[in-house]
Amino acid sequence: MMYHIAQRNADSSISSGPLWLIAFFGFAGYIGGIMTGIIVAALVVGIVGIVIGILLGIASEKFAVEVDEKEIAVREALPGNNCGGCGYPGCDGLAKAIARGGEAMVNTCPDGW
């Protein structure tokens, strides 16, 4: 079967060579346009992905939001159940209130510390 494909490709002006080479690359006569389109599409998607990645990296540096270090430390000490039993919307809200000072007591969390 490979010989027939290779022979048909060789007869249709595909360059001749070893049988495995013609069998492997000889399909270019049949699907050359499709393969070229797939390669071009893959390159376009790859290049667009790289450009978007670079732009997102630049945007994340330009629009970075600074967070208070005390708030992060308090958040790490809380249990993280996000139950809302303290009256704040989750542990992040309570941590922000504790870090501001005076807005919430340190022992406000009902799950304990």
pLDDT tens across the length of the chain (113 residues): 455 555 555 555 545 455 555 555 555 555 556 667 788 889 999 999 999 999 999 999 999 988 888 888 888 888 888 888 888 888 888 888 888 887 888 888 887 65
Report the pLDDT value the prediction gives residue 4, as an integer from 0 to 100. 52
DSSP tally for the chain: helices H, then strands E = 5, 0
End-to-end CA distance of the chain: 75
Q: What is the pLDDT of residues 71-94, one digit of tens each?
A: 888 888 888 888 888 888 888 888
Report the pLDDT value the prediction gives residue 25, as an integer from 0 to 100. 57
- Asked if 42 and 25 touch (Cβ cutoff 8 Å), the reply is no
Report the pLDDT value the prediction gives residue 80, as an integer from 0 to 100. 82
Q: What pTM was estimated for this model as a whole?
A: 0.46
